[in-house]
């Protein structure tokens, strides 16, 4: 399978920060999917998913979050979690303007799922629906240290190691590729963790009643980074009249990379989208 005509571009966000964006475009796509990656990673880790989505007849827009990959901004840092939502909106606007009349969906993983959910609360009438994979939408135990005594506000540039690789996936080759990937951040700032994991999580819970998009909430049954309680909370509290949840037994955090399950997960995403276009 080959990638459809691919082009890359730096898109200026609302404050001038450059967002590295890759488009994999089809002629006459049935839908457009905007992919939002997670903490410390980058758009290049979604090649397989992008090929599959192109194969289903969907154009794909991917971008690196600020402070990540080949986008601008201080590495592994964000001043305000809202910037993530506003950056994503730049890419949605691009996708919408370049695909008149074509339904646009957003798919976010982990912190990208947090961004997707928050986007859905802040920008309510722009998408046809959202897919949330392993979405970190509630406060996780791993923020306890930086939350205590307001550590992340007092020490915003303190560096936290990215020590999660062994838990991303049961496929050892995926873990090795992640560890060896020069674009995967080896550390990130306390401020980023606090913005997304503390302030952002609180904002999500305060604004969940504004969430009305059709959504497919998917999660690994054995996710030890973002527990599937997050998925259950989102499913229970989202105001969407059209919402669905699937928990994949035994899977770790990156259900889109699990060797034996990823094609099932991607097929479930495909069927869900097909039923809404």
Tell which residue, 53, 59, 73, has the closest CA to residue 10. Answer: 73
pLDDT in tens, 93-126: 999 999 999 999 999 999 999 999 999 999 999 9
Is residue 1 assigned to a domain? no
CATH of the domain at 98: 3.40.50.1820
Kindly report the pTM of this predicted structure.
Answer: 0.97
CB 161 within 8 A of CB 187: yes
> How does strand 129-133 pair with strand 31-36?
unpaired
Domain tally, the chain: 1
CB 29 within 8 A of CB 99: yes
Find the domain containing 149 and state its range: 6-274
Is residue 157 assigned to a domain? yes
Handedness of CA 65, 3, 260, 271 (dihedral sign): positive
> How does strand 18-24 pair with strand 6-12?
antiparallel
Is residue 236 assigned to a domain? yes
pLDDT in tens, 221-272: 999 999 999 999 999 999 999 999 999 999 999 999 999 999 999 999 999 9
């Amino acid at each position: 399978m080959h990638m459809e005509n691919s082009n890359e571009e730096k898109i200026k966000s609302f404050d001038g920060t450059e967002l590295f964006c890759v488009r994999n475009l089809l002629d006459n796509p049935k839908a457009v999917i905007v992919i939002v990656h997670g903490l410390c990673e980058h758009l290049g880790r979604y090649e397989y998913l992008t090929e599959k989505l192109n194969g289903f007849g969907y154009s794909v827009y991917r971008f690196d979050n600020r402070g990540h990959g080949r986008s601008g901004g201080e590495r592994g840092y964000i001043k305000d979690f809202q910037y993530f939502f506003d950056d994503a909106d730049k890419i949605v606007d691009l996708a919408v303007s370049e695909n008149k009349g074509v339904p646009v969906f957003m798919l976010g993983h982990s912190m990208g799922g947090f961004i997707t959910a928050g986007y859905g609360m802040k920008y309510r009438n722009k998408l046809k629906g959202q897919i949330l994979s392993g979405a970190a939408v509630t406060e996780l135990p791993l923020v306890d240290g930086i939350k205590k005594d307001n550590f992340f506000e007092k020490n915003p540039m303190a560096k936290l190691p990215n020590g999660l690789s062994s838990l991303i996936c049961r496929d050892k080759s995926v873990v090795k590729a992640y560890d060896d990937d020069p674009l995967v951040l080896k550390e990130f700032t306390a401020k980023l963790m606090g913005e997304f994991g503390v302030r952002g999580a609180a904002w999500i819970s305060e604004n969940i009643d504004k969430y009305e998009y059709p959504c497919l909430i998917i999660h690994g049954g054995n996710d030890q980074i973002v527990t599937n309680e997050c998925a259950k909370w989102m499913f229970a509290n989202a105001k969407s009249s059209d919402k669905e949840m699937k928990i994949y037994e035994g899977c770790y955090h990156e259900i889109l990379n699990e060797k034996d399950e990823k094609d099932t997960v991607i097929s479930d995403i495909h069927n869900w989208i097909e039923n809404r276009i």
